[in-house]
Each structure stands twice: as C-alpha cells, then as structure tokens.
C-alpha cells in the first residue's frame, strides 16, 4: 500500500492542512495536517521569539487545496526505489530524481510543503540551483526530517523507540539557517506487538520533547505517532490504540509547554491491519478517523501502504461533510510511485514523470476539497503499495 497522510486544521493548530502542514514496520495511511487550538489545553509558555512565525508557517502549509509532499526517504530507502527502476544508488541519481520532483512546473499549486532528507536540504539541482530555493520560488515551504531512526526498545515486546534528541537543538538551529521551516520526527506504534504501555509512553514523550526543541529553534513540528499497518487486527482495534496514543501525546506536549498553535498533527488514518480479512469502504475509514479526531483533538494523517487511488479516496471521503478541521494530506509513495515508474531514470521521460506527479498532486488537492473524481485513474495508480515490515 502507499503511504498517505491527512491533515486537520482549526483556527490555531495544524495536522498529515487548513493552516499548515503525515516503524521499523509498515507505514500506515495518513490524511493530512490539521491546525487548531484545543480549548481544553492551557499553554503556559510561548515558543520563544519564534511564536508568531511558527503560527504563520503552520497556516501556510495548511492552506486550502494543498498538502505535503514527503520526499524525506533516507539514502538507503531512496536506493531501494531507484533499484526498482534499474538505477544504481548514487548521489547523482538521487539528485536527478529529487530535481525532477522539486522542479515540476506548477507543483506549488497543489503542494504547500516538502519534507526533505538532510542531504536534499543542502543539495542543489542538476542545474546548480539550491533545492530549497527552487521550492520557495514555487511557494512551497521546505521541511526537514530530524529523527535518527528507530532502534529496539529495551524491556518491551520487540518494539522500538525513535532516537535523535541528542544534539537536536543545534541541528534544528542549523536547519533553520539553511531554510527549513518545519520538521518531521517519525516514531511508530505496533499493534501486533502490544502496544505495551512502555512503548506508548516512550513514543509520546519523545514526540513532545522533539516538538518543544523544534519550536524553540523556529521549526514547526509535525507530530506523528504512526500506528503501523502491519497486522491482522480489525478497525476497532486500530481505533482503540489510536485513542490511547493520542491522549498520551497531548498530555506530554502540554507538560513540555508546546505551542499548540504552531504544530502540525499527522495522525494515521484509522483502518484495519493490512493483513486483516476485514475490508472497509472509504466512508468507514473517514467515519472512524474523524471520530478519533473529535475525541482526541486535531491531528493529521499519513497514507502508508495504501495505493495511490485508495489514499485519495479515503481523504476525499473525510472531506465530504462538515468537520471542525482542515483535513489534508502528507504523502510519499502515494504521490511518487507512478512518477518514479514513468521516469525510469531516462532524461527523455522527465516531462512525462512530472506530469504524473502533478496528476496525483491535483487529485489529492481535489480530495482535500471533497471534489475528487476517481474515473480515469490508471491501473498503476490502483496498485497496492503495502510492504510488510516497511522502514525508511
């Protein structure tokens, strides 16, 4: 399945889009990013001198009809994708592919933010122009993945925790100077492995500390406790776990004085496990996901593992009726899969590949507005992108 996220937005908070914009195992789908200020929370401290800028950035990323392009795959994962089209994992090939993405004409009409890997943040296009500058010229806010990956969590049921807090303050300060304005930290919760109380607490505390540190250095944090798709569980079990996880996340963010008006929430879409025999319609996914948000405050989603069309259909269903947030998207494979296959590493295919990227971006832009029409979608876009044990 492809990776998909949705976003939610109210007057002061952002989630995987109205104000700003998503394990060692499989990634789940997310809707988008939401921005809103929960009345039940009292923020005791502002995010230093960056408070006003953080709110402005969040609103920009969550602008109507646009979402986030997640192109933050590590060099190793990018190599796997290049290998799928017969290309060697070299910096030159990674540069060529990333150049194709950021220079797609008119991309900023549908994309408000792009999450970059560290190499890309400091990289130039094949024409010698800074990737960051190209994005800004398209009115796309540059973002940066700041975590250091997942490692085994001692004392748990074969679960993981996300490392990267050491040195995060200095790194986020440097990323801000390089032009980044929002950040991503990916931690995961595995349903087949529990989740244990230890794993949930570790994920929530790590996200809260990352969010506070990022804001202190001018970066809007995407808060994303990803509920992995792996497993045979039904949709009710996913809903149960998601409620517990998000309750913990907001508790610890309040403890760390995170400025809620300056965050993006990226909750996973509530779906059955990828290996479940239960099949549900987009309307059911939308109902469960919106119910989660209403009970646990405004988050955003990712699409992890859903097909390109499936991720778009679920997002569209969430925007068919009134809700208190701006529900948008933060997609990686769900935006890039057909684009990559079309390119195939051949210069003569760049234009066609960019057209494929724009087609998917436009479709999700329409879904964010509740106006998506799936007729005419290609067979490639309908292919499942789920990978068991997915990591990146």
| pLDDT tens string 122-181 | 999 999 999 999 999 999 999 999 999 999 999 999 999 999 999 999 999 999 999 999
Contact 265, 286 (CB under 8 A): no
Instruction: Tell me the whole-structure pTM to 2 decimals.
Output: 0.77
**Average pLDDT of the residues of the chain:** 82
CA distance 31 to 26: 16
Angle at 9 between CA 73 and CA 150, to 5 degrees: 30
Q: Is 224 a catalytic residue?
A: yes
Please identify which of the residues 73, 118, 202, 224 carries the catalytic annotation: 224
DSSP-based three-state secondary structure for 182: strand
Tallying the residues shown for the chain, one arrives at 392
Q: Can you give the pLDDT at residue 384? A: 53
Structural domain boundaries in the chain: 6-375
Q: Can you give the pLDDT at residue 14? A: 34
> Would you say domain 6-375 falls under CATH 3.60.21.10?
no
**Per-residue DSSP letter, 300:** -
Task: State mean pLDDT over 338-346.
Answer: 93
Return the sign of the alpha-carbon dihedral for residues 42, 221, 205, 34: positive
CB count, 10 Å around CB of 206?
21
Q: Is 73 a catalytic residue?
A: no
Q: Can you give the pLDDT at residue 378? A: 58
Per residue in 300-336, pLDDT tens? 333 334 566 777 787 778 777 766 666 777 778 788 8
Per residue in 63-122, pLDDT tens? 888 999 999 999 999 999 999 999 999 999 999 999 999 999 999 999 999 999 999 999
DSSP per-residue letters across 314-336: HHHHHTSS--SS--EEEESHHHH
CB count, 10 Å around CB of 164?
18
* Residue reference for tokens 């700041």: 146
Please identify which of the residues 10, 22, 59, 266 carries the catalytic annotation: 266
Q: Can you give the pLDDT at residue 331? A: 77
CA distance 75 to 114: 17
Return the sign of the alpha-carbon dihedral for residues 212, 217, 219, 224: negative
């Amino acid at each position: 399945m492809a990776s998909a996220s949705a976003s939610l937005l109210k007057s002061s908070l952002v989630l995987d889009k109205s104000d700003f914009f998503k394990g060692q195992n499989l990634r789940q789908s997310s809707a988008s990013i939401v921005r809103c200020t929960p009345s039940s929370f009292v923020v005791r401290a502002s995010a230093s001198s960056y408070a006003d800028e953080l709110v402005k950035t969040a609103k920009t990323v969550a602008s109507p009809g646009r979402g986030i392009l997640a192109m933050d795959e590590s060099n190793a994962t990018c190599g796997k994708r290049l290998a799928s089209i017969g290309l060697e994992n070299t910096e030159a090939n990674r540069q060529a592919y990333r150049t194709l993405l950021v220079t797609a004409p008119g991309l900023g009409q549908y994309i408000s933010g792009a999450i970059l890997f560290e190499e890309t943040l400091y990289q130039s296009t094949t024409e010698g122009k800074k990737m960051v500058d190209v994005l800004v010229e398209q009115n796309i806010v540059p973002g940066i993945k700041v975590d250091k990956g997942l490692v085994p969590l001692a004392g748990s049921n074969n679960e993981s925790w996300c490392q990267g807090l050491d040195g995060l303050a200095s790194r986020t300060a440097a990323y801000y100077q390089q032009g980044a304005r929002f950040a991503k930290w990916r931690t995961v919760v595995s349903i087949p492995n529990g989740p244990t109380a230890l794993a949930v607490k570790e994920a929530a505390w790590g996200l809260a500390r990352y969010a506070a540190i990022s804001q202190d250095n001018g970066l809007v944090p995407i808060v994303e406790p990803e509920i992995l798709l792996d497993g045979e569980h039904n949709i009710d079990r996913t809903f149960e776990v998601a409620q517990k996880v998000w309750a913990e996340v907001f508790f610890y963010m309040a403890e760390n004085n995170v400025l809620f008006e300056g965050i993006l929430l990226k909750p996973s879409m509530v779906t059955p496990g990828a290996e479940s025999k239960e099949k549900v319609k987009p309307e059911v996914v939308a109902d469960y996901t919106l119910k989660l948000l209403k009970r646990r405050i405004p988050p955003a989603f990712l699409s992890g593992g859903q097909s390109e069309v499936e991720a778009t259909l679920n997002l569209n269903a969430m925007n068919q009726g009134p809700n208190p947030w701006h529900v948008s998207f933060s997609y990686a494979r769900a935006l890039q899969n057909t684009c990559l296959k079309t390119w195939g590493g051949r210069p003569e295919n760049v234009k066609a590949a960019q057209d494929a990227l724009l087609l998917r971006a436009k479709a999700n832009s329409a879904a964010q507005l509740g106006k998506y029409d799936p007729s005419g979608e290609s067979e490639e876009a309908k292919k499942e992108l789920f990978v068991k044990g997915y990591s990146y």
